[in-house]
A and B are shown apart, each in its own frame.
Chain A
Amino acid sequence: MKTDNDILVKIENLVMHFPIYRGVIRRQVGAVRAVDGVSLEIRQGETLGLVGESGCGKTTVGRTILQLYKPTSGHVYYKGTDLAKLKPEPMRLMRKDLQMIFQDPYASLNPRMTVRDIIGDPMFAFGEASGKQIDERVQELLKLVRLDPDFANRYPHEFSGGQRQRIGVARALTTNPSFIVCDEPISALDVSIQAQVVNLLEDLQRDLGLTYLFIAHDLSMVRHISDRVAVMYLGVVVELADRNEIYDNPLHPYTKALLSAIPVPDPTFYETRQRIILEGDVPSPANPPSGCRFRTRCPIADESCALERPEFREVSPGHFVACIKVGMQTNTKEVINQESV
């Protein structure tokens, strides 16, 4: 593996299949191919946005990076170390560096634990701090996420959704991690609270030098927070580019459709916008289409798209796309514009 100091996390050909069992003897009859060959690099200090519709495998990518699932195949390197090869004890210590913030601020906090115990728990787990040290750290963390330090003895139900998400952020920060998977951290929050949490995450990144994998389905928020954006569809990454490049010059037909479906808070926008309306639903990940997975809904697909998995190739510096129709870029654009609306 190429060692690049700039790269904090490197995922190579990551595959995560969940077996499907049937019958009384629980025979395996198939597999949900949740993640099916994903390669990504996440650079030190950046935010990589990961977008795609529900069920496309975003959470599974995040959890597999953190080794919460043992991948079916492929590798996850953190600072050059292959995490799957680590023995339990070194892996346990490694977990201090790798944390996660969850989507649901209601379900992800234990209702019977106080805020102090929730936030201090990772320190107990690593067994290296006295009660007083934990108290001090909890106070410090509460201030860091802009909550009143006096809240330490309260329980989760006493807080609003936005406050709970701050508690979730504080808990993720307890062990001083370098890398955090933010799994749709604002999806469940009210609109007026989302900006508060996003601003907090940005401030923490700047002050603590954090690296984020930011998972979301809200493409406008992802553009705001990310340095680069990866688009997933049915277990694979179909496009990856810098934040402005992917929005200004999307190449994959799925990315184009996704961008054209963003609800924009500007009524004049809809007078001129050409929407690409996709037909039908996403196929089941237990039985994905052959060749290109998007071909069953793609406005420009033909027979050749069914033959092989399209290669994820770099079409311009830093801009990767998996589509055999992309190459003569202007052509693709014309075809799509004709077929849209």
Chain B
Amino acid sequence: MAEKILDVQGLETQFKTPEGIVHAVNGVSIHLDEGETLGLVGESGCGKSVTMLSILRLIQSPPGQIVAGKAIFKGSDLLAMSQEEIRQVRGGQISMIFQDPMTSLNPVMNIGKQMAEPMLLHLGITPKEARERSIKLLESVGIPRAGERLKDYPHQYSGGMRQRVMIAMALSCNPQILIADEPTTALDVTIQAQIVDLVIRLRQELGMAIIWITHDLGVAASIANRIAVMYGGFIIEEAAVKELYANPSHPYTLGLINSLPQIQRKGRQRLYSIEGMPPILLQTPKACPFAPRCRWVREKCWQQNPMLESIGENHKVACWVDTTTGSER
């Protein structure tokens, strides 16, 4: 039995805006086992980034506020730590890479300095050692002439190379958890494939656990061991990767998987489509957030939001309806 390295319970995060309170994350519970890769999947605005930023305490307040929940990392609650304690964890034991490397790289500082900084803070090594380690890391992520390139600035790297630099930086302090927020979304498919392969290789070498956020069910299938699907600020389904794609059970997951064209499919079938639009998160959610778009919807779904319940080994779903039979669970 694998040990839980991270255990998030009942996380709720809201934003105060002129239009009202945005209920971005509405009681999310997820865990991460040691050494596993969890794929966090869902469309834009469903709360993936806010969930991760909350765990790392990177939500700006105001307008944001974590209103409830715990995030237990190795026995202590990240959400209850002092600023100083969380700073020690962030960028050290837990590190993060983002969709756009330019938002997290300093444009006026060369790569060598930027790489050395967190190592000096977290590892307590000398600048010379940090430099040597930087070169090794850059080489391991496939940056040619790494020694020379330390003095280059971010804009002198291509998009794919910058994302490699970000990965090297994220790994520099031997993290136990790597959180990757859509790190390949802005990249072309061939570069995306390079990055995914790189992370799979590094994960084998270093044995860290990964949370990989994506809206792309294809990318998630290629890298994750287990998948959690988010909708409207809730986790609506969670399963081992093969189980999820073989038996998607929430109407939303089912719809998403069926709406993708199958590359192996020869004939020209009409795509399955989920009608309607993703929810606006301005009300306190009482009904199931997917009810307005669901073809299985019934009275109960409007009155009570279903909890995430186990429906089999390694498979949980939040839905009143058994989509295989069409009757209530």
A interface residues (Cβ-Cβ under 8 A, vs B): 53-54, 160, 162-163, 190-196, 198-199, 202, 217, 219-221, 223-224, 244, 247, 257-258, 260-270, 275, 277-278, 281-282
Contact = CB atoms under 8 A, between A and B. Distances in A.
Given A192-B274, A269-B221, 19 more contacts: A53-B188, A191-B217, A192-B273, A195-B260, A195-B274, A199-B271, A217-B189, A219-B263, A263-B219, A265-B220, A265-B260, A268-B242, A268-B245, A270-B221, A270-B222, A277-B190, A278-B194, A281-B158, A282-B188
Contacts of A53: 188-191
Contact of A262 (B218, B220, B256, B266): B218
A138 B131 CA distance: 64
A190 B215 contact: yes
Interface string B231-259: 00000000001100100000010011101
Interface residues of B, number: 45
Interface in B257-279: 257, 259-263, 265-266, 268, 270-275, 277-278
Interface string B147-184: 00000000000101100000000000000000000000
Contacts of B44: 190
Contacts of A191: 43, 215-217, 256, 259-260
B188 to A, nearest CB: 4
Contact of B261 (A220, A263, A281): A220
A5 B245 CA distance: 46
Interface of B: 43-44, 158, 160-161, 188-194, 196-197, 215-222, 241-242, 245, 252, 255-257, 259-263, 265-266, 268, 270-275, 277-278
A160 B193 contact: no
A258 B188 CA distance: 10
Contacts of A281: 158, 160-161, 191
A302 B256 CA distance: 44
Contact of B259 (A194, A219, A260, A278): A194
A267 B44 CA distance: 23
A224 B217 contact: no
Contacts of A267: 221-222, 241-242, 245
Contacts of A198: 271
A162 B19 CA distance: 22
B189 A195 contact: no
A261 B160 CA distance: 15
Contact of B193 (A199, A221, A266, A277): A277
A196 B196 CA distance: 29
Contacts of B257: 265
21 contacts: A53-B189, A53-B190, A192-B255, A195-B273, A195-B274, A196-B274, A199-B270, A220-B260, A220-B261, A220-B262, A247-B263, A261-B190, A264-B218, A265-B218, A265-B245, A270-B221, A270-B222, A277-B190, A278-B194, A281-B160, A282-B188
B200 to A, nearest CB: 10
A263 B189 contact: yes
A274 to B, nearest CB: 12
A195 B261 CA distance: 9
Contact of A202 (B197, B216, B270): B270
A192 B270 contact: no
Contacts of A270: 221-222
Contact of A278 (B190, B256, B277): B190
A194 B43 CA distance: 11
A260 B221 contact: no
Nearest to B44: A190
Interchain residue pairs A-B with the least CB separation, the first 5: A263-B218, A224-B261, A261-B193, A195-B259, A53-B188
Contacts of B190: 53, 257-258, 261, 277-278
